[in-house]
Amino acid sequence: MKNTVIIILLVMLGVSLIITDTMAQCDATEKINSCAPNLPSGFSFLKGYEVNQGIGSNEVKYSYVFAKDTQYVLNICTEGNDAEGVVITLFDYSKRKLASSKIDGQYVSAVMFNCMSSGIYYITYTFEQSTAFCGASVLGFRR
């Protein structure tokens, strides 16, 4: 019995070390820094988001207060700049879908949004065809 408990503890320790090592290899800050200069012309950097797929999770959620009469852009930055399988979805305060980076079954790497009403908006990154995703997203704006 004692040997079984020790073996189980060693297996759990090994699994946790593998998970920690895998997650430590994702440097979202570096991706944010390299992605920020790629905003479309006329847009200013506002905020960067870590977009990392955790174990057992298929989405990451954030919120941000948008200002009326401002245009926003959200883009995804990945290894090789491939947004395949990752969907950016923007929702208003009542969780009504406003924009998506999946259009007619195709994935695009950015979403633009003209804000007509100041308030809180929700940003969701969903991993549809990705098993281990490490990336970042950049929010930019222009008036």
Per-residue pLDDT of the chain (143 residues; tens, 9 = 90+): 555 545 554 555 444 444 444 445 778 788 888 889 889 999 999 999 998 876 667 889 999 999 999 999 999 887 766 677 789 999 999 999 999 999 998 888 899 999 999 999 999 998 887 656 778 899 999 99
27-142 is classed in which CATH architecture?
Sandwich (2.60)
CB-CB contact of 134 with 103 (8 Å): no
Burial level of 85, CB count in 10 A (0-12/13-18/19+)? middle
Predicted model pTM: 0.77
Residue-range domain boundaries for the chain: 27-142
